[in-house]
């Protein structure tokens, strides 16, 4: 009966007031999903500003420029007549990439000599720099193959033979699990989870520490029943928020995952439990409610970087791997992405088990601390 009363009271507390605490569970992850979907609306890096310095302006050089002009990866923002203007466009960020074509470009191509193009990349933003280098290399390779094929054909070699001569190795490409190679499916699931754990922090963080002063529940209520009674309402709301947030993601990313409901729900249930118990731990050791919100931020905020979502964990330092192993999002984000976009995830159930186990361990430690400090608060009166 006492446990039921605690659960009922905690539900009432979460929904109390003009701005109920329960809203934190929903607002933050949904906002993260919607707002970051706008950031990644393009889904990949496109329309990189490009300046052209064509020192020859020949038929062949214009063909090369046209390849860049036709690509959605680049947008030509300027054609400059001299080196000074070329460098100025790059220095003022009017263009992030510059292509310089030498004055003897056609002559060397027709003689079969190597002709050196100059690609200047402003790599202040490494994302732009890497994409520009990759796609420029592909386009230049395509152009080189086409020119070489024409030279062989001019020498009387059949088109099919000339293609095999200039491009003897053909590589097939099959992209698994992210066929559009976009950033939206790559990032949004993890960002939603990050929003969920922040929402849980804002809602759950102060729940234990305020008991030391308020003594809302008397000595007749055990610390275990209080911990369980506070966990259940928060856990239910967190899982419900996860389901709602995932539904939002399904609409944003146009996913069909009906056959993966159990796996997705398992991640949400285990992740929510782990985060709640971690927040209860910080709450149990905090001196006041403000502290219970500030300290966990140091723990949660680096989580996205250490989760393996954006940078693989096997490339982290030993400390990075250790810190990553302490974070709930490390066990959830990559698995969530894998479940959404691949047929199977070999580590899913292992990591779900880890989250539940670590949540129980955190709860056990929290119970010891909470019981001790609660008894001490009664002694002090």
Q: What is the average per-residue pLDDT within 45-53? A: 90
How far is Cα 202 from Cα 241, in angstroms, rounded to an integer?
14
Q: What is the mean pLDDT of residues 34-57?
A: 83
Q: What is the C-alpha separation between 29 and 238, in angstroms, rounded?
A: 10
Judged against a pLDDT cut of 90, whether residue 86 lies above it is answered with: yes
Q: Tens digits of per-residue pLDDT, 186-198?
A: 788 888 999 999 9
Contact 359, 274 (CB under 8 A): yes
The pLDDT confidence band at residue 356, using thresholds 50, 70 and 90, is very high
Nearest to 48 by CA among 133, 114, 107: 133
| CA 9/CA 23 separation, integer angstroms | 17
Q: Does 56 have pLDDT greater than 70?
A: yes
Looking at mean pLDDT, say which of 159-168, 263-272, 311-320 comes out highest.
263-272
Contact 233, 7 (CB under 8 A): yes
Give the pLDDT band of residue 128 (cuts 50, 70, 90): confident
Please report which confidence band the pLDDT of residue 313 belongs to, taking 50, 70 and 90 as the band edges.
confident
Q: For residue 338, which phi and psi values (nearest 5 degrees)?
A: -65, -40
Q: What is the pLDDT of residue 240?
A: 96
Mean of pLDDT values over 320-339: 90
How far is Cα 81 from Cα 60, in angstroms, rounded to an integer? 18
Q: How far is CA 285 from the centre of its chain?
A: 31
The tally of CA atoms less than 13 A away on the side-chain side of residue 245 is 36
Q: Tell me the percentage of the chain whose pLDDT exceeds 90.
A: 43
The whole-angstrom distance between residue 321's C-alpha and the CA centroid of its chain comes to 18
Which pLDDT score, from 0 to 100, does residue 327 have?
Answer: 93
Please give the backbone phi and psi of residue 358, each rounded to the nearest 5 degrees, phi first: -65, -35
Neighbours of 207 (CB within 10 A): 25
Q: What is the DSSP string of 202-236?
A: HHHTTTTHHHHHH--S-TTS-HHHHHHHHHHHHHH
CB proximity list for 106: less than 8 A, separation 6 or greater: 56, 58, 59, 60, 61
Query: What mean pLDDT do residues 207-231 have?
Result: 90
All structural domains of the chain, each given as residue ranges with its CATH number in brackets, are: 2-40+182-380 (no CATH), 48-166 (3.40.1710.10)
Bigger pLDDT: 268 or 113? 268
**What pTM, to 2 d.p., does this model score?**
0.81
DSSP 237-299: HHHHHHHHHHHHHHHHHT---GGGHHHHHHHHHHHHHHHHHHHHHHHHH-SSHHHHHHHHHHH
Higher-scoring residue by pLDDT: 42, 347: 347
Q: Quick: pLDDT tens for 332-355.
A: 988 888 888 776 778 899 999 999
The residue among 188, 178, 151 whose CA lies nearest residue 166 is: 151
36, two tokens: 């970051």
Average pLDDT over residues 84-109: 89
What pLDDT digit, counting tens, does each position of 148-192 carry?
666 666 666 665 555 555 555 555 656 566 555 566 667 888 889
**What is the C-alpha to C-alpha distance for residues 300 and 278, in angstroms, rounded to an integer?**
10
Average model confidence (pLDDT) across the chain:
85
pLDDT of residue 172: 62
b vs e for 76-86, b when ≥16 Cβ sit within 10 Å of the residue's Cβ?
bbbebeeeeeb
Residue 372: pLDDT over 90: yes
């Amino acid at each position: 009966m006492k446990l039921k009363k605690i659960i009922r009271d905690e539900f009432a507390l979460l929904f109390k007031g003009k701005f109920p605490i329960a809203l934190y569970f929903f607002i933050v992850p949904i906002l993260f999903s919607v707002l970051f979907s706008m950031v990644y609306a393009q889904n990949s890096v496109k329309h990189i500003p490009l300046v052209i310095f064509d020192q020859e302006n020949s038929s062949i050089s214009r063909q090369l420029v046209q390849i860049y002009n036709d690509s959605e990866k680049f947008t030509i923002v300027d054609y400059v007549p001299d080196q000074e203007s070329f460098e100025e466009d790059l220095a003022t960020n009017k263009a992030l990439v510059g292509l310089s074509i030498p004055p003897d470009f056609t002559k060397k191509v027709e003689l079969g000599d190597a002709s050196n193009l100059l690609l200047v990349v402003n790599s202040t933003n490494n994302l732009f720099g890497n994409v520009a280098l990759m796609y420029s290399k592909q386009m230049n390779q395509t152009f080189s193959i086409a020119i070489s094929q024409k030279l062989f054909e001019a020498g009387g070699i059949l088109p099919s033979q000339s293609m095999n001569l200039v491009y003897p190795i053909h590589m097939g490409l099959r992209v698994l699990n992210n066929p559009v190679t976009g950033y939206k499916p790559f990032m949004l699931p993890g960002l939603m989870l990050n929003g969920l754990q922040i929402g849980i922090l804002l809602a759950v963080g102060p729940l234990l520490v305020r008991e030391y002063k308020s003594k809302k529940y008397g000595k007749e209520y055990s610390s275990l029943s209080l911990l369980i009674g506070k966990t259940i309402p928060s856990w239910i709301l967190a899982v419900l928020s996860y389901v709602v947030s995932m539904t939002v993601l399904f609409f944003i990313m146009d996913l069909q995952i009906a056959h993966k409901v159990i796996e997705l729900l398992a991640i949400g249930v285990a992740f929510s439990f782990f985060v709640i118990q971690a927040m209860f731990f910080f709450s149990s050791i905090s001196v006041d409610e403000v502290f219970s919100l500030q300290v966990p931020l140091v723990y949660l905020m680096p989580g996205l970087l250490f989760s393996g979502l954006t940078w693989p964990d096997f490339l982290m330092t030993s400390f990075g791997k250790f810190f990553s192993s302490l974070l709930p999002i490390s066990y959830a984000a990559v698995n969530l992405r894998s479940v959404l976009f691949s047929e199977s995830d070999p580590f899913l159930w292992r990591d779900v088990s880890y989250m539940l186990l670590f949540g129980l361990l955190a709860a056990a430690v929290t119970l010891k601390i909470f019981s001790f400090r609660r008894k001490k608060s009664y002694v002090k009166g």
